[in-house]
Amino acid sequence: MSVLKTVLMSAKIAHKAHLANYAKAVKRRSALAALLAFSLFSFGISTTVLAQKTLTGSVETLQSGASASVLPGAVSGSIPGFIDNSRFELSVNRSSVVKPPLFKAWLEKNNPDLQAILSANDQNAIVEVAGRWDHADKTLKSLGLSYRHIKSKQITEELLQNTKVLILNCAGELKRDKLQLVRDFVARGGYLLSTDWALDNAVELAFPGTISFNKGLNKKPIYQANFVSPDAVLAAGTVYKAYWKLDQEAHLVRILDSRKVRVLVSSPDLALEDPDGKGILACVFPFGRGYVLHMTGHFDNNAAISIGDFLPDGAPSLGIALRQALATNFVMAALRGQSLAVAH
């Protein structure tokens, strides 16, 4: 009997231990289930919040105002005033003093219909939004173009109804409701010119899935720039190769949709520092009936000495900088309502 009792006692103890382990396992599974449920609930909240932050608009119902993918003038070589200096080495870059008359002379030479265009538009046609680092108003003054200078809080739907081109200076910090207005403005047929940090502060938020900041930063101020995709509108009166000034910690561009985004200007030097190896300095894409041109760099002179008319990267045969000529061509295209070539 003592042996039987011992066996029964051992079996009882083993059974209790099994029940205890089973209870612990159930408790652990319950805890994991609760944690999983909480995580799914939190994820649902997060995705809901994210969805609420996504800008909306009826752009899907709009037909793009862009022209065919063939670049006008690029094949036939009929780009007005375009200088193909691709076979020549650039001379050593030097800063120069460029007075407003030289800006105006370039504009008049490459826009024979300038007075007619200006007469057909008032100062509300060009609206420039104040930025922290870029000051496009200085270049607009040098060009002799009328414009309206506003702060970001002054962007309204009523204002944009009479605007043809909106210039968003670096750093381009806009609140969500203003981003929505900018998105709607472009979708209706407006032209948006953005510079440098406006890339991630505005463009990639208002137009997701097009371009974004790839976290790359430049390491020097001056780069060789190549106009790799010239056309009769944006390349008119420019050159293939020139220097391009970048401010400190310029935000480098990543193309998210190569079917829509067309790279205009790139730098082989900057490509070596770019995480994506592209070195993009300027690109354009259609959105709804309008267009967005983004430049890595500024529209103003962006000289180390802000006093005076110093220009650190005047282009060969132009006097003004390639980046300024490109941006000005975009502004003039907006005033004319010209269609722009899109990516293949």
210-242: pLDDT as tens digits: 999 999 999 999 999 999 999 999 999 999 999
Q: What is the pLDDT of residue 307?
A: 73
32 vs 43: CA distance, rounded Å: 16
pLDDT digits (tens, 9 = 90+) for 258-269: 999 999 999 999
**Is residue 310 a contact partner of residue 142, using CB atoms and an 8 Å limit?**
no
* pLDDT for residue 92 is more than 70: yes
Structural domains of the chain ordered from first start: 59-336 (3.40.50.880)
Q: Any idea of the CA torsion for 159, 198, 226, 318, to the nearest 10 degrees?
A: 50
> Would you say residue 11 has pLDDT above 60?
no
Q: How confident is the model at residue 150 (pLDDT cuts 50, 70, 90)?
A: very high
**CB-based contacts of 269, cutoff 8 Å, min separation 6:** 223, 224, 279
pLDDT digits (tens, 9 = 90+) for 298-322: 999 998 777 779 999 999 899 999 9
Q: Which amino acid is at 101?
A: P
- The residue that leads in pLDDT, 117 or 25, is 117
**Does the structure show a pLDDT above 70 at 191?**
yes
Q: Is the pLDDT of residue 75 over 60?
A: no
Question: Given the DSSP bridges, would you call strands 211-217 and 222-227 parallel, antiparallel or unpaired?
Answer: unpaired
Residue 118 has pLDDT above 90, yes or no: yes
Q: Which residue has the higher pLDDT, 228 or 343?
A: 228
pLDDT of residue 104: 98
Measured CA to CA, the distance from residue 143 to residue 136 in angstroms comes to: 11
In the prediction, which pLDDT does 304 show?
79
Q: Average per-residue pLDDT in the chain? A: 84
- Alpha carbon distance 22, 317 (integer Å): 85
Write the pLDDT tens digit of every residue in 15-71.
444 444 444 443 444 443 443 333 433 434 333 333 334 555 544 333 334 433 444
Please determine, for residue 128, whether its predicted confidence score (pLDDT) is greater than 90.
yes
The residue-averaged pLDDT of 83-94 equals 94
Q: Tell me what percent of the residues of the chain surpass a pLDDT of 90.
A: 73
Q: For the segment 152-190, what is each residue's pLDDT rounded down to a tens digit?
A: 999 999 999 999 999 999 999 999 999 999 999 999 999
Look at residue 56 in the predicted model and tell me its pLDDT.
Answer: 56
Q: How far apart (Å, rounded) are the C-alpha atoms in residues 19 and 28?
A: 14
Helix (H, G, I), strand (E, B) or coil at 158: helix
- For the cut 80, the answer to whether the pLDDT of residue 274 exceeds it is yes
198 prior amide bond cis, ω within 30: no
**Between residues 317 and 76, which one has the greater pLDDT?**
317
Q: Is the preceding omega at residue 327 within 30 degrees of 0, hence cis?
A: no
